[in-house]
Amino acid sequence: MRFSRSSTWASRRLGLTSVLVLVAAAALAGPPPPVSFYLRPVPDLSEIFEPKMEVMVAMRDGVRLYTEVYVPKGKDGPLPIILERTPYNVNAGDLEYSERLALYSEFFEEGFIFALQDIRGRYRSEGEHVTLRPQADPNDPNGIDESTDFYDTIDWLVKSVPGNNGNVGTLGISYGGFLSLRAMINPHPALKAVSPGASCADMFVMDDFHHNGAFRLSYSLSAAMAFDLGQGLLSLGQRDEYQLLLDMGPLANVDQQIFKGESYVWNAFKDHPNLDDMWRYGMCGVMPHLDEVTVPALHVIGWWDMEDFAGPIEAYRKLERKDHDNRNYMIIGPWRHGGWTFDDTGRELKGVDLGSDTARYFRERYHVPWFTYWLKGKGELDLPEVTAFQMGSNIWETFDEWPPNDGIEERKIYLREDGRLSFEAPTTESSDAYDSYVSDPANPVPYRARPFMYPWGWPAWMLEDQRFASNRPDVISWISEPLGEDLTITGSPIASLFATTTGADADWVVKLMDVHPEDFSSWETSGYQMIVRAEVFRGRFRNSFERPEPIPANEVVPYEIDLRSCNHRFRAGHRIMVQIQSSWFPIIDRNPQTWVPNIFEAQERDFQKATQRIYRSNRHPTHIKLPVRLR
């Protein structure tokens, strides 16, 4: 069965053959990068699948969504369907066989029907695209959202695709993970399993567009340009993203120069600078709708994913509260954003040897068996509640809950004089027990070594050796003595920060790091300053994300900053380091450091230098609470 295509459908041939190059949210248009963003071998798909079926599937409001269906050759049926709905183009090259299929080659031998669909308003699908579309009012009989589009698509698939067994699973990464979570809300009865990967959950506190209220400039600008203009940062014609965005000036200039008030996404940012119902229920807005496990869910996350890391864990934990039938699971591996699927082997990441083919292991040990069990009724569900890779030792571990509580002891490691980090608390009461630096918005600390241009450095930037920042006068480091024995932390380190600023607002960036010994036998990692966890907190939100307040100048203010989950072993001979700074550009926008009600309306004159003090006295003991494993 083959469905004809309308002549109005857009198509473009990218000429991809040996590798799969998919376009990320930040680079949806323009020439492809010189190196592949996603790397998986592309087999001869014509030997694996029958010729594709193309159809415009009608939704309940009459809008039709472009869908490609692929039935495998030589597999005894009936077969289940794996559905991927995406905003990133089902078939970018308009090929006979979409190269997106190469992302799922581990499933080919077992035998599944694949359905790929452009979501509403994207590429060849009809309708209006709304980025991270909110859930419709359940009382509106004409309401449509991603959940209803899932329902209607699945309903068509099970009724219309020959040789299917009536069971459907869905999966996706990033935006696709968000879609997978939406499929769980009022799901179609045929939906039997989902696998949300790197799914956003909270876009103001912990995912994509903000972290603790601090605006993630380069990522958010890229997404707004991609979804609303069909362009990427490459179109602005500057190789060094740092210099490009610094020269652009305040955020108000971004709108004037690029969007001119016409971007749905950017308007949402500037019109909603604080946490409100738009963020709770609108853009992404998943958490209020996740009440119980309606469909078995396998949440997948990467330790080095700074786009969607904390949100997916919170989504898992919320569903876990009512997981009475044990159908909610989580796997955290040593991957970048989507690396468990996008990378071929997962053996190394930015030069860090992970000791095994972690991505292949996940796909073969967990992902294929997950869908085979729920969609085919084959095998056993031999799956621990939580599976987490331990960085530093390169081993997989299993847990009955996350974060684990048994065998965990909180230990505090303190900032001390002379740049020392110690498990012994400071004893001095002196008001002069602090370290200070000047934060200058005109010369912000880069988040990685320059020059860099999105998206080349983005996928694994958290593994950048932090020595590029250590010698800057606006970054302060404290380091421990070499550890006499291994120390493992499992859970969420919490930074208890006592600080003053001469300004009226400030960003606080805290990095917890593993410093490798100077060892010429391990030349590549000798002296390596490796981020274990790092997070930013915008000071105006210290009391409330809904109602920001100025920071009182020169007054010691306490901050509790969750550095987010980790599972890391510091090896004997390694040292623990903490770095603190007040800018992280351009992954985070520049804080003016004066009081402006809405930073998106700040003018150049509002950006002022400020002197920051980090206290380390007995009265104000800045420290990190570490969840230390006792065994």
Query: Residue 45: pLDDT above 50?
Result: yes
**pLDDT exceeds 50 at position 22:** no
> What pLDDT score does 558 carry?
98
Same fold? 45-204+282-399, 408-629 = no
CATH superfamily of 408-629: Galactose-binding domain-like (2.60.120.260)
Other CB atoms closer than 10 Å to residue 375's CB: what's the count? 22
**Closest by alpha carbon to 20, among 69, 76, 92?**
92
The count of C-alpha atoms lying within 13 angstroms of the C-alpha of 369, restricted to the half-sphere facing its C-beta, is: 10
The three-state secondary structure class of 473 is coil
Quote the pLDDT of residue 451.
86
What is the C-alpha separation between 232 and 242, in angstroms, rounded?
A: 15
Q: What percent of the chain has pLDDT over 90?
A: 84
Mean of the pLDDT values across residues 590-608? 98
For residues 421-456, b (16+ Cβ closer than 10 Å) or e, as one string?
bbeeebeeeeeebbbebebbbeebbbbbeeebbbbe
| pLDDT greater than 70 at residue 267 | yes
pLDDT-based confidence at 30, cuts 50/70/90?
A: very low
17 pLDDT tier (thresholds 50, 70, 90): very low
pLDDT band for position 15 (cuts 50, 70, 90) = very low
Q: Report the pLDDT value the prediction gives residue 456, as an integer from 0 to 100.
A: 56
CA distances from 162 to 3, 118, 165 (A): 14, 21, 9
Q: What is the mean pLDDT of residues 202-220?
A: 95
**Residue pointed to by tokens 């609108």:** 282
Instruction: Show Cβ contacts of residue 605 under 8 Å, excluding neighbours closer than 6 positions.
Output: none
pLDDT for res 118: 98
Kindly indicate the confidence band of residue 28, based on its pLDDT and cuts at 50, 70 and 90. Answer: very low
| Annotated domain spans of the chain | 45-204+282-399, 408-629
- Select, from the ranges 34-43, 222-231, 580-589, the one with the highest average predicted confidence (pLDDT): 580-589
pLDDT of residue 487: 98
pLDDT at 38: 56
pLDDT of residue 14: 28
Whether residue 18 is predicted with pLDDT greater than 60 in this model: the reply is: no
C-alpha torsion angle, residues 305, 198, 25, 246 (rounded to 10)? -30
CA neighbor of 452 nearest in space, from 250, 258, 244: 244
- Residue 205 pLDDT > 60, yes or no? yes
Tell me: the pLDDT tens digits for 458-495? 668 899 999 999 989 999 999 999 999 999 999 999 99
Give dist(CA 628, CA 512) in Å, integer.
14
Domain 45-204+282-399 class in CATH = alpha beta
Q: What is the mean pLDDT of residues 534-555?
A: 98
- Ranking 38-42, 280-284, 412-416 by mean pLDDT, the lowest is 38-42
CA neighbours within 13 Å on the CB side: how many for 175?
A: 21
Sign of the Cα pseudo-torsion (137, 142, 146, 150, in order): positive
Instruction: Say yes or no to pLDDT of 24 above 60.
Output: no
Average confidence score pLDDT of the chain? 91
The structure tokens listed for 194 are: 């989902």
| Virtual torsion, Cα 373, 378, 382, 385, nearest 10 deg | 10
Residue-wise pLDDT tens digits, 317-340:
999 999 999 999 999 999 999 999
88-122 pLDDT, tens digit per residue, is 999 998 999 999 999 999 999 999 999 999 999 99
Closest CA to 173 of 208, 193, 199: 199
Cα 566 to chain centroid, rounded? 15
pLDDT of residue 230: 87
pLDDT level of residue 457 (50, 70, 90 thresholds): low
| DSSP letters for 135-177 | PPPTT-TT---HHHHHHHHHHHHHHHSTTEEEEEEEEEETHHH
Secondary structure of residue 41 in the 3-state scheme: strand
230-251: burial string, b at 16+ Cβ within 10 Å, e else: ebbbbeeeeeebbebbbebbbb
- The secondary structure of 209-248, three-state, reads CEECCEECHHHHHHHHHHHHHCCCHHHHCCCCHHHHHHHH
Q: Looking at residues 369-395, what average pLDDT do you find?
A: 97
Q: What average pLDDT does the segment 166-178 reach?
A: 97
pLDDT range class, residue 454, cuts 50, 70, 90: low
Using one digit for the tens of pLDDT, what is the confidence trace for 575-584?
Answer: 999 999 999 9
Per-residue pLDDT, 235: 80
E strands of 400-464, at which residues? 408-415, 421-422, 434-439
Q: What is the pLDDT of residue 39?
A: 73
Task: Give the separation between CA 136 and CA 147, rounded to whole angstroms.
Answer: 9
Q: What is the pLDDT of residues 287-327, one digit of tens each?
A: 999 999 999 999 999 999 988 999 999 999 999 999 999 99
| Global pTM value | 0.93
Hey, what's the torsion of the CAs at 626, 627, 629, 630, to 10 degrees? 90
Q: What is the pLDDT of residues 512-531, one digit of tens each?
A: 999 999 987 777 789 999 99
Query: What pLDDT is recorded for position 599?
Result: 97
Q: How far apart are the first and last CA of the chain?
A: 59
> How would residue 164 be classed by pLDDT, with cut points 50, 70 and 90?
very high
Q: What does the pLDDT read at residue 2?
A: 28
- Radius of gyration (C-alpha) of the chain in whole angstroms: 25
Query: If you average pLDDT over residues 134-144, what whole number do you get?
Result: 92
pLDDT score of 43: 93
